[in-house]
Amino acid sequence: MQLDVVTLFPDWFDWFRDQRHVANALRGGHELRTLNPRDHTTLSGGQVDDTPFGGGAGMVLRVDVMDAALRSFYDTDPVELRSQRRVIALTPGGRVLDDAYVDELAAEPAITLLCGRYEGFDERIVQHFCSDTLSIGRYVLAGGELAAMVVADAVLRKLPGSLGHADSAVEESFSAALGGNPEYPHYTRPAEYRGWRVPDVLLSGHHEEIRNWRRARSDERGASSGGSPLP
C-alpha cells in the first residue's frame, strides 16, 4: 500500500513513522509519504489559504494551490487522479470511519489523504479531486492530521506483517470474525490477584469451551451497545 498524506505539517508524521507497527509495515514494502502544499504554492509568502467568500471566521485551503501540489507530485491532472487511487478529504462531516471502511481502504493499493486546516477545504477540492470524504467521529479537530494518523494506524495494522502475530487483526473488536461485536475480555498472570480470579474456563485448556466462552462474552458486549457496562 502506498499511503500519501497531503499536509501543511509533514513533521508530525516523523513520530508516527517510528511507531513499531507502522515501521514494520514500512519495512515490509508499504509506503507512507507526505506532500506539503506550501512547497507548491506560487502565491507570495507561501500562502495556501484564504478568507471565505461570503464572510465568516477562519481560512479555507485554496483549490488552485491544491491543484498545483497534486499535479506536481503525481504528474497527473488531479481530476484524473481520483480514478487511479482513492483520494480522501478528511473532514468532520465525512463518512464516519468504522471497521468495514478500514477494510475497504486496506484493500486499496494506493490512497491519498488530504488534511484540512482552519475552516477546511474550498469545496471544489472535494468536488473535483476527491473520491471520498472521511470523518473519524462527530466532533471537530483543529485539523485533519490526527485523523490521518488514525486512518493510517487502523489501515496499516490490517496489512500482513505489521503486527507481531498473524491472527492479531482477524479476531478483534468489530471484525467479521466476531460478528461485528467488540472483543471478549483478556486476562494474563497472575491467575488470582487480591481475590480476583481469572475465569476457570480460560485456565482449563479446553479450546472448544474457551472459544464458546469468548464468543458469548463478545456477543454480550455487542448487545450492550455503547461499550461494555462497568460496575
Kindly tell me which of 53 and 139 has the beta carbon lying closer to ligand 6GU. 139
- CA–CA separation, 161 vs 13, rounded Å? 21
Check the CA dihedral 130-136-142-145 and report its sign. negative
Report if residue 41 touches ligand 6GU, rule: CB under 6 A: no
Binder of ligand 6GU out of 41, 135, 175, 181 (CB under 6 A): 135
**Residue 113 makes contact with ligand 6GU by CB under 6 A:** no
Determine the Cα–Cα distance for residues 25 and 229; give it in Å rounded to an integer. Answer: 35
As a whole number of angstroms, the distance between CA 197 and CA 187 comes to 10
| Residue 85 per-residue DSSP state | S
Smallest separation, CB 231 to ligand 6GU (Å): 31
Q: Using the rule CB under 6 A, give the single segment among 19-27, 41-49, 74-82, 87-95 that binds ligand 6GU.
A: 87-95
Residue 90 to residue 151: CA distance in whole angstroms: 10
Least spacing, CB of residue 176 vs ligand 6GU, in Å: 24
What's the closest the beta carbon of residue 135 comes to ligand 6GU, in angstroms?
4
Compare residues 7 and 91 and give the one whose CB is closer to ligand 6GU: 91
Segment (H or E) for 134:
strand 132-135
Q: Is position 144 annotated in a ligand binding site?
A: no
* Residue 135 host element (H or E): strand 132-135
144 is an interface residue for ligand 6GU by CB under 6 A:
yes
**Site for ligand 6GU, rule CB under 6 A:** 90-92, 116, 134-137, 139-141, 143-144, 147
